[in-house]
Chains A and B, each alone.
Chain A
Amino acid sequence: MSKLLRRILKISVWPAVLMIAGKLFGIIIANIVYKLDFFIDNQIQGIFSIQLYYTDSNTTILVNSISNLFMIIVLAIPTIYFIIKTSIYQTTFQNPRTIVKITKLNIMNWITKDDTSFLLIFIWCSFLLVTSLIVIAQTIQGINYSWIGILAGALAIFSIWGTIKTYELEIDKIYPREKELY
């Protein structure tokens, strides 16, 4: 098995687990906070044998929206962190003022070690994109609050931009831009 494939597998486990955990945690929190009665049926038609359901649509939308929000947040926070960290790390090579700012903000540990690779960001962004697409689809179906759908859309765009930006930074390492060297 190639090292690359092994690394991809290793990186993919965390976002996959967090995606499910975020959704599940959101459902549990919504049920506890709003003291909701939920039901489980095992005779639903389709590919799934077990389905969680509520008896009125307002509650369904509320629980689905809260759980989707939790799911997006748990995936978005690390992804944004990785993108910002990589971006700052690369900028410090080109702009000494960035180091001053980082020192003032007391986040020097962000640039002391380059442990955030393009692969890591690409996988986390992929999971964030998949999650955002699910949320957007559910918003279109009318089973999710529209503002959460808009947030998911913005995060989807951000994750695509983040991936491209990181790719550019990685490419710059191999083929530095001529105008910046001469």
Chain B
Amino acid sequence: MAKQNLLPQIFEPLAIAALLALFIIPTLTVINLSPITQELKESNVLGVTDSTQNIVVRKVGGIHDIFQNETLEKQDETEYIYSTNIMKREGKKAYSKPIITIKNTGTTKSTLSFYGYTDSTTKSSYSLKIDKNSYNLTDTSKIQLKPGEEKVIYLYTESQSSILFNEKLNIIIYL
């Protein structure tokens, strides 16, 4: 009696399973690779309400030609540092971007102060615009937030001459 070759019968179901896997695995991988939006827990997003300060600070984010690689980090319970790379730019032009939102979730008035500096000594002026007010970053400025009030902070810069290199700007926010 001739020997029956059983190998094809064994491999056939495996091949069908492999074929299905070839369709299913890339599909699941592509779905998994699709990014989602989520807030950072420890760094960059400081949206957790502090029992002592009741101030919620959030990075606005987004894409901008001049203000790039924005980060917002918590240094301690009362101090946060926002930093961004300011790319090379044309002179006599002003650039602005919403960078941070601050909200007072408490029931009492809160005061915030901020101060900024760059890693270079260009003649660019940097300021923060909150509502209709402008605050120069070279001085320590203070703003008040009423209970439940939320404000959007805009970073604003302009220079008389073209800046042909990148700069790093740091803003320290004290609660």
Contact = CB atoms under 8 A, between A and B. Distances in A.
Given A2-B12, A20-B26, A51-B32, A60 B69 contact: no
Interface residues of B, number: 36
B11 A1 contact: yes
A61 to B, nearest CB: 9
Interface stretch (A34-42, A86-94, A95-103, A108-116): A34-42
Nearest to A49: B32
Interface residues of A, number: 49
Interface in B40-69: 40, 44-45, 59-63, 68-69
- Of A13, A53, A55, A131, most buried by chain B (CB within 10 Å of CB) is A55
- Of A23, A34, A50, most buried by chain B (CB within 10 Å of CB) is A23
Contacts of B25: 16
B144 to A, nearest CB: 27
Interface of A is mostly: helix
A58 B35 contact: no
Interface of A: 1-2, 5-6, 8-9, 12-13, 16-17, 19-20, 23-24, 27, 34-39, 41, 44, 47-48, 50-60, 62-64, 67-68, 71, 126-127, 130-131, 134, 138, 143
Interface string B81-123: 0000000000000000000000000000000000000000000
Contact of B38 (A55, A67, A143): A55
A118 to B, nearest CB: 17
Given A1-B15, A59-B63, A51 B37 contact: no
B91 to A, nearest CB: 23
Interface stretch (B16-24, B145-153, B154-162): B16-24
Contacts of A34: 63
Interface of B: 8, 11-12, 15-16, 18-19, 22-23, 25-40, 44-45, 59-63, 68-71
B71 A138 contact: no
8 contacts: A5-B19, A23-B30, A23-B33, A51-B32, A55-B37, A55-B44, A56-B59, A71-B30
A55 B16 CA distance: 41
